[in-house]
Homo-oligomer: A and B are copies of this chain.
Amino acid sequence: MKNSARLLSDLLERVAEVGRTLRSYPPGQTGILDQCHVLLSSKGEATSLATAREILDRFPNLAPGEKHDFFCRLLSEFGPDMTATAASIAAWQATPDSATLRRLHFASEPRSQELVRRLNRAPGGTGGVVAMRKDLLACLKAEPGLKALDDDFRHLLSSWFNRGFLELRQITWSTPAEILERIITYEAVHEIGDWSDLRRRVAEPDRRLYAFFHPALHADPLIFVEVALTREVPEKIGTILAAQREITHPNQARTAVFYSISNCQEGLRGISFGNFLIKQVVEELRKELPNLTTFVTLSPVPGLRRWAEAETLPSALRATVAQIARSGAVPDQAMAELAAFYLAGTDGSGSGARDPVARFHLGNGARLERIHANADPSPKGMRESWGVMVNYLYDLKDIEANHEAYNGGGAIVCGPVVEKTLNKIQKV
């Protein structure tokens, strides 16, 4: 806490210099921060909406440094009302009951929250606030003190993007092109090469794509998942992405494979929808296709290689890494052992599994089912994990128990094959 408090005062000093710039930007006109103050004190509702809209229109045109200063000034100038807070504290201390305590909470609300609420009311305001937070997150890296401001954004966005307001839609070849175009842009796992590639992923009978939408973000998805319907659990991504392949009739599929999950809105980072998305898609698919018995992912292992090359490993695994470095490859079993050790272990920090994708699926209640070497020979796959991919299994009857075991005590539940691999390593 000390640390971030220091950073905060540092940055406020620096901000002081550029204050005038912001205030008078552009020359001869009211500065954007002045407009924020106007917005907060505004009583006229039409002017209030117009001011909000202007702020949202001007903000994206600020230079990076100006954005940084804008946020720092928001943090310092739009904090809670100190006098009111102090009075509320005194009131609570005099009468320490639930009512005075609740009043203290409202009295200490940062004014930046009301500011963001008013921005959100403008036509198209929600999209503007999400875009603004994207910039805030970018500034956060250099200026950790802005975390306190981001708390406001995250608090409000969590409330507005709560699950009850989201709408699940299947994306098909009848979906408006403006949405499909965004799917191409947002796909973050297995790039969509062109419209033909997209068509295969949404229009072939054994492929599905589902997305979450929020009513205030028109035609702009929040997150989506791509599904392949197959007979067996797949071991390689190539069999799923191939342009030429045999189609499985949906009624003969036994397995639904979640082979790509992409978050679309950088500005909603930390507000999780993926969990709900997968579960709701499982519900949809089970209703439509009662023949499906297995729900599984085919997932990348983005952190494997960086971890293996940086950490001190048990000697057997160290040998594996060395062999890869020499010859570019190792036997599948050796690769699987290395990956199992990485995936099933924790880094001791209490933040769960080492791998971010593992954290997501284990946190949702999936279990670590299978590990496949040579599953993704793409440049990205080789660069991140020497081509290793993983199946996480969503077994409906165990999801809640797994979820609580992981979130409670950090237990990583593995399927029998992975268990066996792990036992082998431990014996070594």
Q: Which residues of A contact B (CB under 8 A)?
A: 1-2, 4-5, 8-9, 43-47, 49, 75-76, 79-80, 82, 85, 89, 91-92, 95-106, 108-110, 117, 120-126, 145, 148, 151-152, 155-156, 159-160, 162-165, 167, 173-178, 180-181, 194-195, 199, 203, 215-216, 219, 275-276, 279, 365, 399-400, 403-404, 407-408
Contacts and interface: CB of A to CB of B under 8 A. Distances in A.
Given A103-B148, A104-B85, A121 B163 contact: yes
B76 A98 contact: yes
A173 B176 contact: yes
Given A44-B365, A85-B101, A181-B199, 11 more contacts: A8-B97, A46-B400, A102-B110, A104-B108, A105-B110, A106-B151, A117-B162, A121-B163, A126-B164, A173-B178, A177-B195
B120 A101 contact: no
A98 B123 contact: no
Nearest to A109: B105
Contact of A219 (B49, B174, B404): B174
Given A79-B102, A97-B5, A99-B8, A173 B164 contact: no
Contact of A156 (B99, B159, B194, B407): B159
Nearest to A214: B215
A5 B95 contact: yes
Contact of A195 (B105, B195, B219): B195
A159 B162 contact: no
Contacts of A109: 105
A4 B162 contact: no
7 contacts: A82-B101, A99-B148, A123-B164, A160-B160, A160-B162, A174-B176, A175-B177
Number of identical monomers bound together in the oligomeric complex: 4
A149 B82 CA distance: 24
Nearest to A167: B215
B102 A164 contact: no
A98 B8 contact: yes
Contact of A164 (B99, B216, B275): B216
A91 B2 CA distance: 10
Contacts of A177: 173-177, 180, 195, 199
Nearest to A52: B164
Nearest to A98: B79
A380 to B, nearest CB: 25
A218 to B, nearest CB: 10
Nearest to A124: B164
A365 B5 CA distance: 45
A140 B8 CA distance: 43
A-B complex: 3 closest residue pairs judged by Cβ atoms: A215-B215, A79-B98, A105-B108
Given A108-B105, A148-B99, A174 B178 contact: yes
Contact of A98 (B75, B117, B126, B399): B75
A104 B80 contact: yes
